[in-house]
Structure 1
Amino acid sequence: MKQIFTIGCLVLLAGCASSSVMPVNKNTIIITTSTDSDCGQSGAQKVALKMAAIETIRRGYDEFAILDSRQHSDVRLIGHTPVYSNTTMNGTVVGNSVFGSANTTYYGGDPLYGGFFSQGLAVRLLPKGSGGVDARGTLGEDWEKIIKKDVNTCL
């Protein structure tokens, strides 16, 4: 059961992020990333940073510098899970009377949150040795595979 829950959560998070890239000039871009509420603001930041590294390499540069960063959150309470109860009774019959006790346990009613987090980055693309953030180092040793696709998950 725990495996099914874990797999279900991973499937839900599999497409939890999207990004767009807007060129400003030859070596400056603006990246806008939006993630589901499950990712948190740090998830949106991670996705935006990876997209900055991906776009840096795709556009023929090696390093990048973040010129500006903006965040927004639209996460809010959207409801609660259903409330359930379970009642157990213990009793003894003596003649026409019943003596005993009952215990009711309630569960559920947990909050449900929805919405999104967004992260915007203004990014300057730089040649190697400029003192910026190393794009390939940001993506790790699988950078060649990663740059072939956009980042669509905060995991």
Structure 2
Amino acid sequence: MKQLLAFSALVVVASCAQTTVTPVAKNQIMISTSAEAACGSSGSAKVASRMAAVETIRRGYERYIIVGAASANNVSVYQTGPTYASTSGSSYSQGNNTYGYATTHFGGQQTIFHGTHDTNLVVVMFNAGDPEFDKAIDAKTQLGPNWQKVAKEGVNACN
């Protein structure tokens, strides 16, 4: 059972974020990432940051600077009521007296997380020779040695 729960959690976290990209100028984009509650705000920010590098490469640029950022969340948690009750007990008699106890266990409650963590980034992209190029972050370095695969597939996991 524990393995099934761990696998279920992994599946949820493995594909927990969606990103949209809005061009705002020839070398500027806005990244909007929405991540599942399980990812947390840091997971949403991580996906958005990596997608800034991905989009820089996809658009033919080498480096980028994040010039604006905002985040929000609308995550809520609620617990359902019990769905079953089980009562057990025992008794014994001693002389004219009977003694006993009964215990009721309630179960079936579930804790449910709902909502998303959202991150918005404004990104300016640069190529060699552009002003601020030397101050910008190298997109390939940010994505690591498998940058080509990541740039092709994108980022949708917050882990």
Q: Same fold (TM over 0.5)?
A: yes
Q: How far apart, CA to CA, are the structure 1 residues paired with 2:115 and 2:90? A: 46
Tell me, yes or no, if structure 1 residue 137 matches structure 2 residue 150.
Answer: no
User: Which letter does structure 2 place at the counterpart of 1:136?
Assistant: K
Judge which range, 45-54 or 107-116, deviates more. 107-116
Aligned to 1:46: 46
Residue matched to 2:9: 9
Q: TM-score, normalised by structure 2?
A: 0.83
Secondary structure at the aligned position of 1:99 is classed as strand
Tell me what 2:154 maps to.
150
* Structure 2 counterparts to residues 31-70 of structure 1, below 5 A: 31-70=31-70
What is the CA–CA distance in structure 2 between the aligned matches of 1:133 and 1:85, rounded to whole Å? 58
Identify unmatched segments of 5+ residues in structure 2: none
Q: Work out the number of aligned pairs and report it.
A: 154
Q: 2: distance between equivalents of 1:69 and 1:16?
A: 20
- The amino acid that maps onto 2:116 is F
Deviations, residues 52-94 of structure 1 (Å, cap 9, x unaligned):
01011112222211100011211123x3133254444232134
TM-score norm. by structure 1 comes to 0.85
Identical columns (%): 38
Structure 1 vs Structure 2 CA RMSD: 2.2
Identify the range of structure 1 (105-114 vs 58-67) with the bigger mean alpha-carbon deviation: 105-114
What's the CA shift for 1:5? 0.8
Q: Partner of 1:125 in structure 2?
A: 125
Letter in 2 for 1:72: A
Pairwise CA distance, 1:34: 0.7
Q: Measure, in 1, the Cα distance between the counterparts of 2:94 and 2:120.
A: 74
Which segments of structure 1 move beyond 6 Å, counting only runs of 4 or more? none
How many Å apart are 1:96 and its aligned residue?
A: 7.1
